[in-house]
Amino acid sequence: MDYEKLGLKAGIEIHQQLDTAEKLFCRCPTALQDVSERTGEFYRYLRATESELGEIDRAAREEMKLVRKFCYYTYDTVCLVEHDEEPPAPMNPEALEVCLTIAKMLDMTPVEQVHTMRKLVIDGSNTSGFQRTALVALSGALPDGCRVETICLEEEAAQRVEDETFSLDRLGIPLIEITTAPCMHTPEAVQKVAGHIGMVLRSTGRVKRGLGTIRQDINVSIADGARVEIKGVQELDLIAEVVRREVERQVNLLAIRDTLRERGARVDHTVIDATSLFAGTASAILKKAKSILAVRLCGFAGLVGREIQPGRRLGSEMSDYAKKCGVGGIFHTDELPAYGVTAEEVARLREFVGAGEEDCVAIVAAGRERAGCAAEQVMIRAEMALSGVPEETRKMLEEGSTAYMRPLPGAARMYPETDVFVTAIDEPLWEGIAVPELLTDRAERFARDLGLDEALARQVAFSERLPLFEKAVAAGVRPTLAARTLLATCRELARDGVDVGRVSEDELLALFSAVEAGRAAKEAIPDLLTELARTAGGAGAPGERVDAAIEKMGPAVSQADVEAIVRRIVAEREAFAREKGMGALGPLMGVVMQELRGSVDGKVVSETLRRELKRLLS
């Protein structure tokens, strides 16, 4: 696709959890819990507040279509603030500092005074019914001339356990939201910018890592299309694909619109009760429904079933809207007969509602009230198809297609959080914020100064083990040894089922220093780590535990022992050695190392072996 010609404009919002000791507005830890650890449950109803115009925010109203009771799981790591039973504590200064650090790295301008707002969110993910959020800095720079518009500090929502049940451990973890301008014009550019911002965030060393700790929302529009916000893209690699698929969706919706207009299509606003038609149906869904309502979509035949995105049709969009009324979905004649509905029933339905060749009929089956609501939603979405692409908030499905969530929220759903004082960002505070080195710069530095190859340097710089690596190098450990052990060796052991995560940082450092002091061979590291993991949590200081592991895995072998073994092995294979000359070094090395079971550094062995060979050959 020619994205330039299509007028693609995309922006992103990145949400990143901060790795602070405490939550944003209470003193609870920012640790996630397993739901089985919950210490209690409670439930509440949420109700949207009337605004001055007598209007409820349109996104909030949409959520209210279903009267829902929300259940919350609580833990001993959660307090009354998350329960919405106590006013918030002052804003966590550590979180503000991290936020300002990121703002500074992005070359942004802080606001002089931070005002915390309440943003209405009544999907149940916030016990209060609002999310606390504050604008901290404005206008920053990104590569390729793109701009960051704002950075906000807000509280993370509770995570959904299932349906209307939420877990409160995540609620209140500090979260920053970085919003870019709609300055990207290709799917790849979006992914690149997201990658860059992610790198900046990780450069602070103070953001949470792992699945779900960073989420991207993507805003996409094309010329003549509409702004669509896609929520919750967790994997960086999928971003470009999500954009490509959204452009495809908008292009196809516009093509459908054009065809509909050519055909003079319209939506018949009479809802027809078709319950009696299906009295003897074999369709399980229709059979158990109290009410089956039909909507005639004049001129829509063939278009409702047309694919607009992999696995998604215009019919899926209508179905998403209908689901807001609590129905499971809809049927339409573009996809029937199917699902137990016979061709004969379809013909009868068409005749009953007076549908012509060019018309499509959609049916909803549910209780009377829900079916009525759903039929109305189908009509609303069908009307939107006549004018093109609706502005929407959508959620990502697997693979990168999307489904409708709710209308775009109105800008006017925020009001001040009066329980939190404003925070001034004065000159000394801003000047005192230290800007950490970017991970990309660090990788370059590692390659240049520490002699790591580029790939390894980058791997170390971006790894969660970076702080330990730096500690080890500062303690005099060879960078390559530290890097290979922390990245390659640990990963391989983990793959083989060794719980290396249980080996403490101090033990790793003690192990490195034992190797560097010649008390253990670097070849013995995997065995030693395995032993340390096996006995993890045991008594003794880290150094003692490492010594015990060395003792256990292989008693110390003296240089004299090594020389004796080497001499014996060379003598046993004298013919081979004489034939191959110094070329025998490699093969013999393997034999000696096997005998020593890694308890001696390979370098020592190879030097001894070389000496012995030379002596034999001279």
Q: What residue ranges bind other proteins (CB under 8 A)?
A: 42-55, 60, 69, 80, 83-87, 109, 111-115, 117-120, 122, 127-130, 133-135, 138-139, 150, 152, 411-416, 418, 422, 424
What SS3 state is found at 340?
coil
Per DSSP, helices labelled H in 234-357 are: 239-263, 284-288, 314-323, 343-353
CB of 67 to other proteins, least distance (A): 9
Least Å distance, CB 41 to other proteins, is 9
Residue 600 tokens, joined? 């001696």
Within 13 Å and on the Cβ side, how many CA atoms surround 450? 27
Give the shortest CB-61-to-other proteins separation in angstroms: 12
Please identify, using beta-carbon distances, which residue of 122 and 183 lies nearer to other proteins.
Answer: 122
Compute the least distance from the CB of residue 350 to other proteins, in Å.
41
Identity of the residue, 70 or 300, whose beta carbon is nearer to other proteins in the bound complex: 70
- Which residue lies nearer to other proteins by CB, 32 or 181? 181
Q: Going by C-beta distance under 8 Å and a sequence separation of 6 or more, which residues neighbour residue 219?
A: 10, 11, 12, 13, 182, 227, 228, 229, 230
| Nearer to other proteins (CB atom), residue 120 or residue 374 | 120
Report, in Å, the least distance between residue 417 CB and other proteins: 10
What is the nearest approach in angstroms of other proteins to the Cβ of residue 427?
Answer: 12
Measured CA to CA, the distance from residue 298 to residue 260 in angstroms comes to 9
- Helices 93-105 and 187-203 cross at an angle (nearest 10°) of 130
Question: Which CB, 145 or 264, lies closer to other proteins?
Answer: 145
Considering the complex, what minimum distance in angstroms separates the CB of residue 42 from other proteins? 5
And the tokens for 470? 């730096």
Q: Are 176 and 96 in contact (CB under 8 A)?
A: no
> Are 158 and 78 a contacting pair, CB within 8 Å?
no
Q: How far is the CB of 131 from other proteins (least distance, A)?
A: 11
Judged by CB, which is closer to other proteins: 44, or 597?
44
> DSSP letter string over 63-106?
HHTS--EEEEEE-TT--TTTTT-SPPPSP-HHHHHHHHHHHHHT
- If the CB atoms of residues 119 and 534 are measured against other proteins, the closer one turns out to be 119
Helix/strand/coil (H, E, C) string of 194-232? HHHHHHHHHHCCCECCCCCCEEEEEEEECCCCCCEEEEE
Identify any residues that bridge with 70 across adjacent strands, giving them in sequence order. Answer: 44
Assigned token pair, 416: 């001040």
Residue placing its CB nearer to other proteins in the complex, 9 or 312? 9
Q: Which is nearer to other proteins, 46 or 503 (CB)?
A: 46
Q: How far is the CB of 60 from other proteins (least distance, A)?
A: 8
Q: What is the DSSP string of 467-500?
A: HHHHHHHHTT--HHHHHHIIIIIHHHHHHTT--G
Q: How far is the CB of 433 from other proteins (least distance, A)?
A: 16
Comparing CB distances to other proteins, the nearer of 10 and 79 is 79
Residue 475, both tokens: 């303690």
**Residue 608 DSSP symbol:** H
Please, how many CA atoms are within 13 Å of residue 165, restricted to the half-sphere of its CB? 9
